[in-house]
Amino acid sequence: DIQMTQSPSSLSASVGDRVTITCRASQGIRNDLGWYQQKPGEAPKRLIYAASTLQSGVPSRFSGSGSGTEFTLTISSLQPEDFATYYCLQHNSYPRTFGQGTKVEIK
Amino acid sequence: EVQLVESGGGLEQPGGSLRLSCTASGFIFSNYEMNWVRQAPGKGLEWVSYISSSGSAIYYADSVKGRFTISRDNAKNSLYLQMNSLRAEDTAVYYCARSGRFGLWGQGTLVTVSS
């Protein structure tokens, strides 16, 4: 099974900050990775697919990069509505595996 | 509107059974692979099962293999998850998610396994 190691598990940031979240795959997954945002009581929402393609309707302050084993989600200027938990997901092989999540909190 | 709506959750005793449904609308359901994903209270996301668009290919997480069965009825635009031999650790919100890239999610249905 492919393990997805996501870091950090939580972070505190202020509105306007640049935020970076990383996922590392235990083996190469090409660019078969998505990033998801989840707010309390809501379903996850896809932000990025194919590692770096922005989902339609998602603000351009979100970006993804990486290939192989190292992937990054960046929020260029954190907004109040961005405080949430973020997950990566590899869809290269079964079982599909998620990162442990990163909770982004208000400083 | 393109959407997925889950139903069938509830309270069940350990060892019992439940059948979850996910009804699709606004898109051609038969064209898409589908998945079930769950989230235990206060925990992260866990992939549960996958079914191909035709139903010919199916995969399960080890944690549910032999107890859960995924199926679909393309004529009814519906996805199912039959859950047998339920355990306390199956307590979670269960989401259906569209395609291999999980681009669309339902709102979830809560399954509670407790005596």
Q: What is the bridge-based pairing of β-strands B109-113 and B10-12? A: parallel
8 Å CB contact between A29 and A5:
no
Residues 6+ apart with CB under 8 A from B99: B32, B33, B34
Span A7-25, pLDDT tens digits: 999 999 999 999 999 999 9
The stretch A50-77 carries a mean pLDDT of 98
Strand partners, A12: A105
CB–CB of A39/A84 below 8 Å?
A: yes
The reported pLDDT for the residue numbered B113 is 98
Question: Would the pLDDT of A77 be above 90?
Answer: yes
CA separation for the pair B85, B16 (Å, rounded): 5
**What is the structure's pLDDT at B92?**
98
Give the three-class secondary structure for B8: coil
For B105, which of A44, A49, A100 is closest by C-beta distance? A44
| Residue B56 confidence (pLDDT) | 97
pLDDT > 90? residue B6 = yes
Give the pLDDT of residue B23. 98
Does A61 have pLDDT greater than 90?
A: yes
The chain B residue lying nearest A9, using CA atoms, is B44
Judged by CB atoms within 8 Å, which residues 42-81 of A form the interface with B? 42-46, 49-50, 55
Q: How far apart are CA A64 and CA A19, in angstroms?
A: 12
For B31-79, the pLDDT digits (tens) are 999 999 999 999 999 999 999 999 999 999 999 999 999 999 999 999 9
Specify whether the backbone of A68 is left (phi greater than 0), alpha (psi in -120 to 50) or beta.
left
For residue B84, pLDDT over 90 is answered with: yes
Query: How confident is residue A97, by pLDDT bands cut at 50, 70 and 90?
Result: very high
| Tokens 């449904």, located at residue | B21
Q: Judge whether B107 is closer than 8 Å to chain A, CB to CB.
A: yes
Rounded mean pLDDT of chain A? 97
> How would residue A107 be classed by pLDDT, with cut points 50, 70 and 90?
confident
Rounded Cα gap, residues B78 and B30, in angstroms: 9
Residue A25: its H or E element:
strand A19-25
CA nearest neighbour of A48 among A39, A61, A40: A61
Give the pLDDT band of residue B99 (cuts 50, 70, 90). confident
pLDDT of residue B100: 79
In degrees, rounded to 5, the angle at the alpha carbon of residue B92 between the alpha carbons of residues B28 and B59 is: 50
DSSP single-letter state for residue A96: P
Max intra-chain CA distance, chain B: 40
pLDDT higher than 90, residue B80: yes
Label residue A106 by pLDDT band (50, 70, 90): confident
